[in-house]
């Protein structure tokens, strides 16, 4: 059976699906939705620069805090955050390193964008007993709310009440409290009590194009303030990675499906929760995972960057963060059906949608008129080519959202409005 993360149909009663229009992001000149934006440091003149099927034998691993330093995480699409003894993270920490501009007469676009965004990116240290790790985060407002990954603050789901500290770009260290976590999106919000914080300028991830400049800022391997750049390699990519829900959480899923931006900007363990920035210094994504060419999901070491990294689009992250700040948790849509991959032709390697195996009576899908045998090909404007993409498209949406669902029935294309239920 398929729960949006396997190849066989699975009851979908507890697995969120759905998509609604993404929240609009105000232009950079407008106040942040999270509060007034403090002025960023002046930017020098710019000289333009002269285990989901991510692919055969490629696995996804969350950068569990893109970098619990020390022990390993399974190879594949993995969280940027391997398990490690607390003392290991301490020895790997590097002194804070703000963006340094030695020659203000010759500054490229990446330098200017990094200098604008870096004051809003922090390094996060998480410890519980003898375990610990480092990750990254993005300052959302002057009240001290910081966006990061769930797998960062839970040490890959191992603990629910870890001790969290934050080091800001100016080198100050603050104790942090966890406002809320959302394992279904692998996003979390923490809070510090600090003055003079510079909130990040949030961009609009719905306008990101393949080929756009992409700049990753974070603390890979504990090296705070690291800046790397590349391009946006793909958008609307769907990956599967392990859930970071703790034993005290409400989610019982072993894996999650999320839509991401793919980039070749170097990100490594420790980058989790850090910023993916466009050429204007606006946040377009939250770094969450990297792909590994490893051949086993039980590898004892976590691979580094191979040019295939993933970032949660900021429009999705913004919605989740606002809900967590407001209520302590985020909501996700649910369709209420079981689905399986619909193979294309005679090849089992290519799929052409998510085939409905069964529909839960009284569910959102039932009320929208879906039936067993229908093949879902789109949800809320997203193309659906397999069951995992349907799961990810559903999870992007808030519970109660009304969106369009496209499907084939007896070879005929049909559409319907569907009001998503709430994932439990």
> Phi/psi of residue 108, each to 5°?
-90, 175
Indicate if 12 belongs to the active site.
Answer: no
215 bridge partner residues: 229, 277
Closest CA relative to residue 160, chosen from 57, 258, 73, 247: 247
Q: Rounded distance, CA 104 to CA 111, Å? A: 10
* Cα 248 to Cα 190: distance, rounded to the nearest angstrom: 18
Residue whose structure tokens are 């330093």? 69
Q: Work out the number of other CB atoms within 10 angstroms of the CB of residue 306.
A: 14
DSSP 8-state secondary structure symbol assigned to residue 150:
H
**Looking at 32, 272, 358, 363, which residue is catalytic?**
272
Which helix or strand (DSSP H or E) is residue 112 part of? helix 109-117
**Residues for the chain: how many in total?**
424
* Rounded distance between C-alpha atoms, residue 415 and residue 360, angstroms: 19
215's tokens: 């700049």
Which residue from 304, 204, 305 is spatially nearest to 261, judged by alpha carbons? 204
125 is catalytic: no
In the three-class reduction of DSSP (H, G, I as helix; E, B as strand; rest coil), residue 320 is classed as helix
Beta strands in 305-411 (DSSP E): 309-313, 333-334, 337-344, 347-359, 375-379, 382-383, 402-409
186 is catalytic: yes
Considering the candidates 15, 141, 156, 186, report the single residue annotated as catalytic. 186
Nearest-angstrom CA–CA distance, 246 and 14: 17
If one counts every other C-beta atom within 10 angstroms of the C-beta of residue 415, the result is 12
Of the residues 12, 145, 151, 332, only one is catalytic, namely 151
Give, as one character, the DSSP assignment of residue 85: B
- Residues with catalytic annotation? 151, 186, 272
């Amino acid at each position: 059976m398929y729960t949006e993360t396997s190849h066989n149909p699975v009851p979908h009663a507890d697995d969120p699906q759905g998509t609604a229009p993404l929240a609009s992001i105000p232009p950079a000149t407008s106040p942040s939705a999270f509060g007034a934006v403090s002025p960023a440091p002046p930017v020098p003149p710019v000289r333009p620069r002269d285990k989901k099927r991510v692919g055969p034998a490629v696995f996804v691993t969350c950068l569990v805090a893109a970098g619990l330093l020390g022990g390993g995480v399974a190879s594949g699409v993995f969280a940027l955050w391997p398990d490690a003894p607390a003392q290991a993270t301490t020895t790997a920490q590097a002194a804070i390193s703000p963006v340094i501009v030695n020659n203000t007469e010759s500054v490229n676009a990446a330098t200017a964008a990094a200098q604008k965004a870096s004051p809003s990116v922090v390094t996060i240290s998480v410890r519980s007993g003898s375990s610990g790790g480092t990750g990254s985060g993005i300052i959302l407002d002057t009240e001290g709310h910081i966006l990061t990954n769930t797998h960062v603050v839970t040490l890959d789901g191992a603990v629910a009440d870890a001790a969290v500290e934050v080091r800001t770009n100016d080198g100050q260290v603050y104790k942090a409290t966890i406002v809320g976590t959302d394992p279904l999106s692998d996003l979390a919000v923490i809070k510090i009590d600090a003055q003079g914080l510079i909130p990040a300028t949030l961009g609009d991830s719905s306008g990101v194009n393949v080929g756009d400049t992409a700049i990753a800022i974070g603390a890979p391997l504990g090296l705070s303030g690291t800046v790397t750049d590349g391009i946006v390699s793909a958008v609307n990519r769907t990956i599967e990675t392990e859930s970071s829900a703790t034993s005290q959480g409400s989610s019982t899923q072993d894996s999650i499906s999320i839509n991401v931006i793919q980039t070749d900007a170097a990100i490594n363990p420790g980058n989790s929760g850090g910023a993916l920035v466009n050429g204007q210094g606006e946040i377009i994504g939250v770094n969450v995972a990297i792909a590994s060419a490893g051949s086993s999901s039980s590898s004892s070491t976590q691979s580094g960057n191979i040019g295939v990294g993933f970032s949660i689009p900021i429009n999705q992250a913004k919605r989740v963060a606002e809900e967590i700040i407001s209520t302590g948790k985020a909501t996700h849509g649910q369709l209420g059906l079981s689905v399986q991959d619909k193979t294309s032709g005679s090849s089992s390697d290519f799929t052409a949608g998510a085939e409905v195996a069964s529909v839960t009576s009284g569910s959102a899908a039932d009320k929208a008129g879906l039936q067993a045998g229908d093949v879902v090909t789109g949800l809320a404007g997203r193309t659906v080519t397999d069951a995992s993409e349907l799961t990810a498209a559903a999870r992007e949406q808030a519970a109660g959202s009304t969106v369009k669902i496209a499907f084939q029935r007896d070879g005929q294309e049909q559409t319907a409005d569907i009001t998503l239920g709430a994932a439990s």
